[in-house]
Amino acid sequence: MGALEALQSQLNPKILEVTPKLILRAGMALNGAYALFLDDLFKGATAYAAAYQRSESFSVSQKLYGHWQSRSQVLGPGDEYALVDEFADMIGVRGWFEWKPDNDVMAAPADTHKEGTSNPELLRQKYRPAVYFLLDALKRYDSLPMAKIGEIALEIGRVGQNGLNYASPDQNYTLKSLPGEKFSGLHLMCLMYAGYKRIAPGHELGMDLNEPFLMALEMFQSGMSGK
């Protein structure tokens, strides 16, 4: 669930009517902390936390995010369980759940991939069109504010939650943030990759597009962008 959807769900009158106040406050605190995380991740390109600042739970959100920042650099395997307990203590729901041992041992599927592209070799074969689409992205973003670039990149992330078909050149995708246009899957991937390079250059997307991006950037900077 995205930051905006989370806020909308907690402002829904029907949800407010049937949800215990403790759960509402806990949810607002956690969602506010998530919003702070996103705003920090995107270097001020977003302002999701602004919607939570008047909430009585926002001070707890700040404590949660501050606690996460202090722990995130030293987390080891299994420490996420302790972090959940610490968060639960801070929002007052520690006694509402318990951990159960997982006695089932499952082997990972042989074709398990890390987050990112499902067929890196195919993506490498798309080098030339990727350069073109990345160049298009650089041209678009050159005149856009960071907030708009973040909006486009985040929307593509939502559209691509179930995967983007970058094998086909067909323009089957649309974006609310870029109305009136249609895009191929590879074009969207390039728009998202170039967008993150602007708003969060240290964020790893798991897409092998760095080489074509550097080529597109060199072309753009040398005046070959067609501007």
Nearest to 13 by CA among 24, 27, 2: 24
Write the pLDDT tens digit of every residue in 165-187.
888 889 999 999 999 999 999 99
Reading the block at residue 90, the tokens are: 């801070």
pLDDT value at residue 4: 52
pLDDT value at residue 176: 93
Question: With 70 as the cut, is the pLDDT of residue 58 above it?
Answer: yes
Residue in this structure with the two tokens 């060199």, named with its chain if needed: 218
Among 57-66, 122-131, 154-163, 209-218, the least confident range:
122-131
| Bigger pLDDT: 101 vs 41 | 41
Are residues 212 and 127 in contact, defined by beta-carbon separation less than 8 angstroms? yes
pLDDT value at residue 204: 76
Residue in this structure with the two tokens 């649309």, named with its chain if needed: 174
Contacts of 199 (CB under 8 A, 6+ apart): 42, 43, 45, 146, 149, 150, 153
d(CA 11, CA 15): 7
